[in-house]
């Protein structure tokens, strides 16, 4: 089995972020020719763990990136483009980059190959406008998925509002109203996220558009940044992971939690395993998205 490289630094700072990006050896800007989309969660109004401007702003500026997002399927302050932009501004994202709510003008279908649950994925129309993508995730827990990092950021995060409903319902409906009342096994939802994330990678590969993966593991709460009542961190910061492989990058993040001697790690482990969160990794590997076997290179 191929071993992929995951670069890691404990230096959670603009300098550390720049270092792990440079370690990947990819000029995502293509000498400044590429229009670069940086997929970051802008955080629900009331959340506090989202990636802060002072940390990621310098890096996003250095690649002349545009923050890209899609509206939420749940009711809240980010389920319309108009309101979503207001929250992005409140959280400081517009202070250093343009913000594009990609499904403001609808969505489009991309195929899901060999999926058990999804026949396709629905992603924001404006995703087509970018030549290269940086999947810049905040590593933390998640109420529904167990944990959130690159795979969630690429599945739920890039899906349109209707696409999010389709993933959450495991392919049963595109309705944001209906998706929350339909019942399904938890493992089906976890696998649906893997299928959607793989579809995005396949689409980018087919369009010859590069993507890189970075996860900042700080402010590790049990809840996602999409939670308006997000709790305080339950364990100490870990560091920043970067790879060309999202499965390996997420696996490295999970392995770091399991290796941690931090007392709070047990709470995060419980959150992840009670939601069958780790099951996304071998299933994504089976779909061909990446490898759970990697070499960790600390820089």
Mean pLDDT, the chain, rounded, equals: 96
pLDDT number for residue 224: 86
Domain residues for the domain of 50 are 4-298
Q: Averaged over 160-187, what is the pLDDT?
A: 96
Q: Averaged over 128-149, what is the pLDDT?
A: 97
Q: Averaged over 142-156, what is the pLDDT?
A: 97
Q: Averaged over 77-105, what is the pLDDT?
A: 95
User: Is the pLDDT score of 1 beyond 80?
Assistant: no
Q: Are 16 and 214 in contact (CB under 8 A)?
A: no
Please list the alpha-helical segments (H only) found in 9-122.
Answer: 14-23, 53-62, 81-90
Q: What is the pLDDT of residues 266-277, one digit of tens each?
A: 999 999 999 999
Residue 235 structure tokens: 């364990």
Percentage of residues in the chain with pLDDT exceeding 70? 99
Q: What is the pLDDT of residues 204-230, one digit of tens each?
A: 999 999 999 999 999 999 998 887 889
pLDDT band at 75 (very low <50, low <70, confident <90, very high): confident
Q: Are 24 and 241 in contact (CB under 8 A)?
A: no
Q: Are 116 and 195 in contact (CB under 8 A)?
A: yes
pLDDT band at 58 (very low <50, low <70, confident <90, very high): very high
Pairing of strands 4-9, 239-243: antiparallel
Report how far residue 230's alpha carbon sits from residue 224's, in angstroms, rounded to the nearest whole number.
7
User: Is the pLDDT score of 293 beyond 90?
Assistant: yes
Percentage of residues in the chain with pLDDT exceeding 90? 94
Contacts of 16 (CB under 8 A, 6+ apart): 9, 10, 239, 240
Report how far residue 112's alpha carbon sits from residue 41's, in angstroms, rounded to the nearest whole number.
23
pLDDT number for residue 77: 86
Residue 133 structure tokens: 């993508």
- Our count of domains for the chain comes to 1
Q: What is the pLDDT of residues 109-131, one digit of tens each?
A: 999 999 999 999 999 999 999 99
Report how far residue 265's alpha carbon sits from residue 61's, in angstroms, rounded to the nearest whole number.
33
User: Is the pLDDT score of 3 beyond 90?
Assistant: no
Q: Are 160 and 107 in contact (CB under 8 A)?
A: yes
What torsion, rounded to 10 degrees, do the Cα atoms 193, 197, 203, 206 define? -130
CA distances from 176 to 22, 77, 167, 179 (A): 39, 15, 11, 6
DSSP string, 101-149: ETTTT-EEEEE-SS-SS-SEEEEEGGGGG-SEEEEEEEPEEETTTEEES
CATH number at residue 88: 3.40.50
Q: Phi and psi dihedrals of 211, rounded to 5?
A: -140, 140
Answer with the residue of higher pLDDT: 198 or 75: 198
pTM of the predicted model, to two decimals?
Answer: 0.97
Report how far residue 204's alpha carbon sits from residue 292's, in angstroms, rounded to the nearest whole number.
21
Beta partners for residue 38, in sequence order: 67, 134
Report how far residue 151's alpha carbon sits from residue 198's, in angstroms, rounded to the nearest whole number.
9
pLDDT number for residue 2: 53
Q: What is the pLDDT of residues 188-202, one digit of tens each?
A: 999 999 999 999 999
pLDDT band at 23 (very low <50, low <70, confident <90, very high): very high
């Amino acid at each position: 089995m191929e071993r992929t490289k995951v670069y890691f630094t404990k230096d959670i700072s603009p300098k550390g972020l720049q270092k792990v990006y440079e370690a990947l050896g990819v000029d995502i800007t293509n000498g400044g020719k590429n229009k670069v989309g940086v997929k970051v969660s802008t955080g629900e109004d009331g959340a506090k763990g989202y990636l802060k401007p002072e940390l990621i702003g310098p890096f996003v500026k250095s690649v002349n990136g545009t923050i890209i997002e899609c509206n939420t399927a749940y009711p809240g302050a980010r389920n319309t483009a108009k309101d979503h932009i207001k929250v992005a501004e409140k959280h400081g994202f517009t202070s250093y980059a343009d913000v594009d709510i990609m499904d403001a003008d609808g969505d489009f279908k991309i195929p899901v190959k060999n999926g058990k649950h999804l026949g396709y994925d629905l992603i924001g129309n404006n995703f087509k406008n970018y030549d290269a993508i940086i999947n810049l995730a905040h590593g933390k827990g998640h109420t529904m998925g167990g944990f959130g990092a690159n795979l969630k950021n690429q599945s739920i995060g890039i899906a349109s509002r209707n696409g999010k409903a389709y993933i959450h319902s495991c392919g049963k409906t595109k309705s944001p109203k209906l998706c929350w009342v339909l019942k399904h096994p938890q493992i089906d939802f976890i696998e649906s996220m893997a299928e959607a994330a793989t579809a995005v990678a396949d689409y980018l590969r087919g369009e010859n558009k590069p993507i890189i993966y970075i996860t900042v593991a700080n402010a590790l709460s049990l809840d996602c940044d999409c939670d308006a009542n997000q709790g305080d961190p339950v364990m100490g910061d870990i560091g920043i992971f970067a790879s060309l492989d999202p499965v390996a990058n997420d696996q490295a993040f999970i392995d770091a939690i399991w290796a941690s001697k931090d007392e709070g790690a047990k709470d995060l482990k419980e959150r992840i395993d009670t939601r069958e969160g780790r099951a996304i990794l071998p299933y994504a590997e089976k779909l061909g998205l990446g490898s759970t076997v990697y070499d960790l290179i600390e820089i």
